[in-house]
A and B are shown apart, each in its own frame.
Chain A
Amino acid sequence: MNEFSNAFRTALQLLVEMDPGLSEIVLLSLRVSLSAVCLAAVFALPLGALVALTQFPGKRGVVILMNAMMSLPPVVVGLVIYLLLSHTGPLGVTGLLFTPTAMIIAQCVLVFPIIAALTRQTVFDLHEEYDEYLRSVGAGTSQKIATLLWDGRTRLLTAILAGFGRAIAEVGAVIIVGGNILHSTRVMTTTIALETSKGDLGMALGLGIILVLIAVAVNTAVVTIGGGASRRTV
């Protein structure tokens, strides 16, 4: 229990003092995870919609794979991307290892299946509802996709937030491809891991509290903006 009160005090102290080291870490965490989510969404939303709306051989296997990849272990993703970006690896020439870009790539890979699979499910359900109507008015495939994506916006927003939650909370991928380098690739989760390993449990827990607060803040902001149009979002 002492650790916890210690932690709350530390968290409060960090927030009040606006420690520049802390803000650097928080900003980097947000940059990396938000970028990863947006990048993933740009591709995962239309892909999920397309898989929902089209028939092709092996579709069932693809859907199973999409759903299964939501459980990709972050360390495994980190390891694979590390091997790709290593200087002896196929993409070594890019020099991206141990940079924030590598971290964005790794988190994008982690988050992509979540958004794609949930989009597919959402669009599929809406398709059942709207198919006859859309065919009746003669909507083309891209029009159908746009209609279904916009109409499912609440559920899709939840999917995107789920992706963000995964990204901001993971440590396995970013620590391997980023290297937890001070002032460069150190984010909230890797800092918590480091402080824990130094035995600084109060500091680690304090940072953890701040991480949760940030996640709550982002979720609130998004739901408020997204829920502006329709009064009820839950």
Chain B
Amino acid sequence: MQTQHHMLPLVVNRARYVVGGKAIIEDVSFTIHDAGLTVLLGPNGAGKSTLLKLCHGLLLPSSGSIRWGEADVAEVQQQQAMVFQRPVLLRRSAAENVDHVLKVRGASSAQRARVIEESLEWAGLTEIADIPARKLSGGEQQSLTIARAWALNPEVLLLDEPTANLDPGATRRVEDLIRSFAGAGKKVIMATHNIAQAQRLADEVLFLNHGRLLEHAPADRFMSGPSDPLAARFIAGELVE
């Protein structure tokens, strides 16, 4: 499914990110044209999180550029939403957590009430609306952060290893929500080290290792046989350093 998207293409040109003399991201360039689900794949420490944060504007590149459509990252940040590996939830009820982001965005109380109800229903969380968010299970918590992202109605959803700490049942639930997001025409970019998950979800794969982009290909082509030897070893299940 391809829809017209004013934030696409995402053009990353020679991005570098250096901290304490060490390059976490080294000379990465790519272009993403289509909506759908893009997976950043690679072993732990490859720089996937960092790249996501650079695309979202939480980090600034040391050199190089990142542009969404014709716009700078900062201009479009509020049209994106990000889900972190450990769900970041406030010490309040589930509904109040969704309420919080809507308040930050300045929605009226009537609007907020409506959107909260819709988002929680979309995520199947209506029953636990008034439970303190920190008391929810891991799967419920992560579903809540995705519902919260849904409430913002972003053009782009970025996820940083969202199911890394979840059991299979919770993982399935979260993956369903992610698919739902992509199915609604939003651009989804997700980082993961889990090959099986990538196989289940990806339309497109970017393979990273040691801060470098080693391969960029449509999912089915990548999964049946990646060109890069390291990538091939990775999806064969080897430990790639």
Q: Do chains A and B touch in the complex (CB under 8 A)?
A: yes
Chain A residues with a Cβ under 8 A of chain B: 129-130, 132-133, 135-139, 143, 147, 151, 153-154, 229-231
Interface of A, secondary structure class, is helix
- Candidate in B81, B101, B104, B105 with the most chain A CB atoms within 10 angstroms: B104
Q: A151 touching B56 by the CB < 8 A rule?
A: no
Q: Is B217 an interface residue (CB 8 A)?
A: no
Q: B91 touching A137 by the CB < 8 A rule?
A: no
CB-CB under 8 A from A143, the residues of chain B are 104
Residue interface mask B76-108, A partner, CB < 8 A = 1: 011001101000101110000000110011000
* A150 to B: closest C-beta gap in Å: 8
Given A143-B104, A147-B100, A230-B132: A135 in contact with B58 (beta carbons within 8 A): yes
CA distance A231 to B91 in the complex (A): 12
B22-74 residues at the A interface, CB under 8 angstroms: 53, 56, 58
Q: B88 touching A129 by the CB < 8 A rule?
A: yes
CA distance A130 to B53 in the complex (A): 15
Size of interface on B: residues with Cβ below 8 Å to A: 18
Q: A138 touching B88 by the CB < 8 A rule?
A: no
Q: B101 touching A137 by the CB < 8 A rule?
A: yes
| Chain B residue with Cβ nearest A134 | B104
CA distance A137 to B57 in the complex (A): 11
* A179 to B: closest C-beta gap in Å: 45
| Chain B residue with Cβ nearest A153 | B91
Q: B90 touching A136 by the CB < 8 A rule?
A: no
* A222 to B: closest C-beta gap in Å: 18
Residue among A136, A139, A151 making CB contact with B82, cutoff 8 Å: A136
Q: Is B170 an interface residue (CB 8 A)?
A: no
Q: B104 touching A133 by the CB < 8 A rule?
A: no
Write 20 A-B pairs (CB below 8 A) sorted by A numbering.
A130-B88, A130-B90, A132-B58, A132-B82, A132-B84, A135-B58, A136-B81, A137-B105, A137-B152, A138-B77, A138-B105, A139-B104, A147-B90, A147-B100, A151-B90, A151-B91, A151-B92, A154-B91, A229-B92, A230-B91
* A149 to B: closest C-beta gap in Å: 12
Q: A136 touching B56 by the CB < 8 A rule?
A: yes
CB-CB under 8 A from B90, the residues of chain A are 130, 147, 151
CA distance A129 to B134 in the complex (A): 14
Given A138-B78, A143-B104: A133 in contact with B152 (beta carbons within 8 A): no
* B94 to A: closest C-beta gap in Å: 13
The 9 closest A-B CB pairs, nearest first, are A133-B88, A136-B82, A138-B78, A139-B104, A151-B91, A137-B101, A151-B90, A137-B104, A143-B104
CB-CB under 8 A from A139, the residues of chain B are 104
* B41 to A: closest C-beta gap in Å: 22
CA distance A213 to B104 in the complex (A): 43
Q: B77 touching A132 by the CB < 8 A rule?
A: no
Q: A132 touching B88 by the CB < 8 A rule?
A: yes
Q: A132-B82, A230-B132 are in contact. List 12 more A-B contacts (CB 8 A).
A: A132-B53, A132-B58, A132-B84, A132-B88, A136-B81, A136-B82, A137-B105, A138-B78, A138-B104, A139-B104, A147-B90, A151-B90
| Chain A residue with Cβ nearest B152 | A137
* A143 to B: closest C-beta gap in Å: 6
* A49 to B: closest C-beta gap in Å: 15
| Chain B residue with Cβ nearest A152 | B91
